[in-house]
Amino acid sequence: MSSRSSTTDEPPPLVAPAARRRAKAPAVRKGGDGRFAFWLVVPAMLVLTAVIGYPIVAALIRSLSSDTLGESPHFVGFGNYADALWGARSGQFWDSVEVTYLFAAITIVLETAIGLGMALVMNQAFRGRSLLRGVVLVPWAVPTAVAAVLWKWSFNPVGIINAVTGSHVVWTGADWPSRIAIIVADTWKTSPFIALLILAGLQVIPHDVYEAAELDGAGAFQRFRLITLPLVRPALLVAVLFRLLDALRMYDLPAILTHGANDTTTLSILVVQSTLSELKPGYGGALSTLTFLFIFVTAYAFVRLLGVDATEAHTRDSRKARS
Amino acid sequence: MLTANVGRNRLGRARVPRARRPYVARLTHWGDTVRRRLSWTGAAVAAATVATVGLSGCGASGSGSGGDARGPITFASGKDLTGAMPQLLAQWNKLHPDQKVTFIELSASPDDQRNSFVQDLQARSGKYDVMWDDVVWTSEFAAHGWLAPLDKAQVGGPGVLPAAVDTATYKGTMYGAPFMTNSALLYYRSDLVPKPPTTWAELQADCAVAKAHHMDCYAGQFAQYEGLTVNAAEAITSAGGSFLSPDGTKVTVDSPQARAGLQHLVDMFRNGDIPKAALTYQEQESANAFLSGKTMFLANWPYVYTAASAADSKIKGKFGMAQLPGPNGPGKASLGGIDLGVSAFSKHKQTAKDFVAWMQSESSQKILVKVMNQASVLSKLYTDPELTKASPYLPTLQKAELTAVPRPKTPAYNAVSLAIQKDVYAALQGKVSVDGAIKNLAGDLQQAIQSN
């Protein structure tokens, strides 16, 4: 691969792609006029404030008020939050939390494993590689709602899945079959995304590292475990972080496949149900704030436990490996 | 370069000249400073924020006032699948050139229609002067003060089906003009069972015929959605039970009658008379099961008649329509349909009120039946020979509608319906006993009507 052989003798920056961009910037940065740039950015910031900031703040404020019919909303403090966390509706809320995290955990493990496999294949030089790359990306290009409808047909009791496997499972009529249907659809849909991010990570691994390892007598599995995995880890973690954020707010697939029936009501479905269908914007606001907190805490924990430290450690490790 | 080799050339070429331009350089500098300050934590916050934006909502409620003046109005309805609505409205516009009505066509999905209405009503904009309200929304919209009260003498007279008038009434006042009505009927294969069953016992006896022909016996709407509320309500009210007291303030579901009604459905699932697949059936899936000739009985709205009697139908001439069976004689159907509501925020309420009354008049209702193929709210149109020729089921439908029961009438209808769907579904799956499901339902309904 020509792009690889042109790598300089300098050890390449083994950090996440975003960090690479940062590291390049100094060459461009001279005589910068922060104020001028500030005014250029102002219009965009104003739009963002209007379309992102305002709804969030409004939902936050609204989440502190009552939803009583026939009177204007009045301040109830954290009543709506208490309702969800340990009050009358806590059962429903914690069921959703459970199923949301269940989906996130299973789909991320499956998608990372499959995505890594796809990326490794796509990274090999062989005839028809660009065709394969294109084909693999097709599921990711299909809108989720469309994919959900396709899978709904496939999982119909008289659909193709039962016809091909010869089974008579009523896929969207019981708990685990429904969950499996959603997990299969999500994995099909999103593995290419992970593959793409991992592929980007694989391509910055210089070829000479592999050559050196091969000379030292490392087998294919050792090269994968000791070189590929540690070096691709930053990109892998970014991919998993993205997926984590995405999976925790999963809405379209269960909404279309099961309407939240059979214990597949994710947090997002519950928020929409409370806010739009039951017309309880206060409670719905509390739920969306709680969803935000859950996603934030999870992402933060993920980054703290694995992200930053791991990146640095592996930069060191890989240097050691190279010397 | 996140995408590296995929499209590398394109990205690579684009980057170089950009970096040379001074203003972009400054921009990059600023953005870079910010980016450096943003820690991973910041990135996580930002990402999580963006993730939740789509979930936040806000709203306000209350009622407002508008003039009783006349003038142009708008009429918003669900998607007009018949294409006949403009024809109907053109007649009004010809009669009232100074008070023209503009047609606004909304989504085909009732949930989306409701969202459009609610958003407009919460904003008090009065964009929709006349709204096409599903019968189960009337109480909720009226309780929020979103609908203008109507004159019962004008839109709820003796010629209108009493059950339809009932759906449009909230706390003794009419808040909608009944426009269309609907109730489920039992479709049966007349080639296999010459005489339709009138009781549950007869229905279950007929299931032996289905078994002999390797067919499923009975299908309805049993997926966990609004259709399940309709079907469960039919079983429970036919057995003499109810969900809420007539004024919607007390839970009445914990009764032997309600248990008997639910037990009937559970039994039919347990002995296979209703196939397991029916747990995923909405209207169309259940209709397909009947139209394909693989199911002997179907409970559904009258609209299936059109497809079943079409020239290419597999069961053309081999089916009939009857009232739903009950425990001892014909059962009670759930009432569907549309009431036309006048927005409390309309600026031309008088025109709007005249318009909804005109939509209920005999000439308009004839177009409704003949061109749109819907059931009228006027009793006399069910026996009109011209109409019964095109839709021979009309007299049966009228009988069903005379005994039909509205679904629970409460401003908290959605929460109530969601609770019914959840608890009944668990019983049909066999996860919860009938007794347990009814007890859970009583608790959930209490919470649903209390939390308002």
Query: CA B194: distance to chain centroid?
Result: 33
- In this structure, is residue A17 part of a structural domain? no
- In this structure, is residue A30 part of a structural domain? no
Q: Which of A69, A135, A152, A198 to mutate to test the interface with B (most CBs of B within 10 A)?
A: A69
pLDDT in tens, B31-78: 444 444 444 444 445 445 544 444 443 333 333 344 568 999 999 998
Query: Which residues in B lie closer than 8 A to residue A170 (C-beta atoms)?
Result: 276-277, 279-280
Q: In this structure, what token pair is assigned to residue B291?
A: 């139209």
User: What is the block-wise mean pLDDT of chain A (323 residues), using blocks of 10 residues?
Assistant: 42 46 47 80 92 90 86 87 90 94 96 94 87 90 93 91 90 91 96 93 91 89 90 90 92 91 92 88 93 93 72 48 45
Q: Which residue on chain B is closest to A241 by alpha carbon? A: B44
Residue B420 makes CB contacts below 8 A (sequence gap 6+) with B228, B229, B232, B233, B243, B441, B445
**B338, β-bridge pairs:** B134, B180
The domains of chain B, with CATH numbers, are 73-182+336-403 (3.40.190.10), 183-334+408-450 (3.40.190.10)
pLDDT in tens, B401-422: 988 988 998 999 999 999 999 9
Give B318-330 as a DSSP string: SEEEEPPEETTEE
pLDDT of residue B394 exceeding 50: yes
- Residue A272's closest CA among B88, B112, B246, B333? B112
CATH number (domain holding residue A220): 1.10.3720.10
Query: Which residues in B lie closer than 8 A to residue A64 (C-beta atoms)?
Result: none
**B216, β-bridge pairs:** B295
- In this structure, is residue A25 part of a structural domain? no
- In this structure, is residue A33 part of a structural domain? no
| Residue A10, φ and ψ in degrees, nearest 5 | -55, 140
Domain tally, chain A: 1
Tell whether A246 is within 8 A of chain B (Cβ). yes
| The B185-189 sheet, strands edge to edge | B216-219, B295-300, B185-189, B319-322
- In this structure, is residue A233 part of a structural domain? yes
Measured distance CA(B108)–CA(B77) in Å, rounded: 9
- In this structure, is residue A278 part of a structural domain? yes
Which structural domain range is residue A237 located in? 89-322
Which of B35, B47, B224 lies at the smallest CB-CB distance from A245?
Answer: B47
Q: What is the ipTM of this complex?
A: 0.75
Which of B371 and B187 is assigned the larger pLDDT?
B187
Amino acid present at B35:
R
Are A124 and A171 contacting, i.e. CB atoms less than 8 angstroms apart?
no
**B342, β-bridge pairs:** B130
Give A105-162 as a DSSP string: HHHHHHHHHHHHHHHHHHTS--TTHHHHHHHHHHHHHS-HHHHHHHHHHHTSTTSHHH
Q: Do B33 and A199 touch (CB under 8 A)?
A: no
Report residue B20's pLDDT band, with 50, 70 and 90 as the boundaries. very low
Q: Do A29 and B28 touch (CB under 8 A)?
A: yes
Chain A with chain B: Cβ pairs closer than 8 A: 206
Please report the pLDDT score of residue A301 as a whole number: 92
- Residue A266's closest CA among A283, A292, A293, A248? A248
Distances in Å between the Cα of B58 and the Cα atoms of A57, A71, A279, B5 are 10, 16, 10, 44
The model's pTM: 0.79
pLDDT in tens, B105-153: 998 888 889 989 998 998 888 899 999 999 999 999 999 999 999 999 9
Query: Which residues in A lie closer than 8 A to residue B143 (C-beta atoms)?
Result: 69-70
- In this structure, is residue A83 part of a structural domain? no
Are B161 and B178 contacting, i.e. CB atoms less than 8 angstroms apart?
yes
Measured distance CA(B292)–CA(B290) in Å, rounded: 5
Q: Do A279 and B55 touch (CB under 8 A)?
A: no
Are A271 and A225 contacting, i.e. CB atoms less than 8 angstroms apart?
no
Report residue B443's pLDDT band, with 50, 70 and 90 as the boundaries. very high
Arithmetic mean of pLDDT, B298-310 = 90
- Residue B322's closest CA among B306, B290, B300, B292? B300
| Residue B405, φ and ψ in degrees, nearest 5 | -115, 130
Q: Do B23 and A36 touch (CB under 8 A)?
A: yes
- In this structure, is residue A135 part of a structural domain? yes
Tell whether A91 is within 8 A of chain B (Cβ). no
Amino acid present at A218:
A
Distances in Å between the Cα of B189 and the Cα atoms of A240, B285, B314 are 55, 18, 11
